[in-house]
A and B are shown apart, each in its own frame.
Chain A
Amino acid sequence: AQKITQTQPGMFVQEKEAVTLDCTYDTSDQSYGLFWYKQPSSGEMIFLIYQGSYDEQNATEGRYSLNFQKARKSANLVISASQLGDSAMYFCAMREGARTSGSRLTFGEGTQLTVNP
């Protein structure tokens, strides 16, 4: 069964510094997708970045990049130049490629990021 593990319940970073949020996953599928979402206190899940299992390049979206190490089954999120507005809960999620998986996402436990001024 698929599983996502985020081992950092909470992280603190100074404004303008970079921070890495860890994510490891477990799946027996060869085809899968990895996502990162941000959840502010308002509750809405905001899509940040996507990495496909066959993508050779690490994904980047503005200040977000994904450090994808397939052999280690890790997909860490790197946020550069942290801003106060980055303070939120961050979730790593996976979608497996099996036809029966549909659009189902499996989420990790989340990491609460606090950006200090």
Chain B
Amino acid sequence: KAGVTQTPRYLIKTRGQQVTLSCSPISGHRSVSWYQQTPGQGLQFLFEYFSETQRNKGNFPGRFSGRQFSNSRSEMNVSTLELGDSALYLCASSQPQGMNTEAFFGQGTRLTVV
């Protein structure tokens, strides 16, 4: 069974540009969550998508957006990039049933903004 796949693995962008990151969840998983990890702020929840609908959202500016497709694949977009957006972006997929449902994470996309 294939795991969670995130592409690309590494990305370098210039301030002011926009970027799109992709996440393919485990087959059959309908919930996809995104997290931002930085040395200063740690792991912070961005948003969660379930059945193509945003179900939950963290405390991030509107420059951060996402969507989910009918095959459960998800993308997140960051517009007008800032230096502080440099981070490891992790995607997690899960079966949204029950409290003990573990989240399976991808290897992340490391974004560097210069």
Contacts and interface: CB of A to CB of B under 8 A. Distances in A.
Contact of B106 (A44, A103, A108, A109): A44
Contact of B96 (A32, A42, A44, A103): A103
B45 interface: yes
| CB-CB nearest 3 A-B residue pairs | A45-B105, A107-B43, A33-B99
Interface of B: 31, 33, 35, 42-43, 45, 48, 50, 55-56, 58, 88, 90, 92, 94, 96, 99-108, 110
Nearest to B29: A103
Nearest to A55: B100
Contacts, number: 70
Given A95-B99, A103-B101, A110 B42 contact: yes
A116 to B, nearest CB: 24
A25 interface: no
Interface of A: 31-33, 35, 37, 42-47, 50, 52-53, 91, 95, 97, 100-110
A31 B98 CA distance: 11
Nearest to A45: B105
Contacts of A43: 88, 90, 107-108, 110
Contacts of B92: 45, 103, 105
Contact of B102 (A31, A50, A53, A102): A50
Given A43-B88, A91-B43, A109-B42, A103 B103 contact: yes
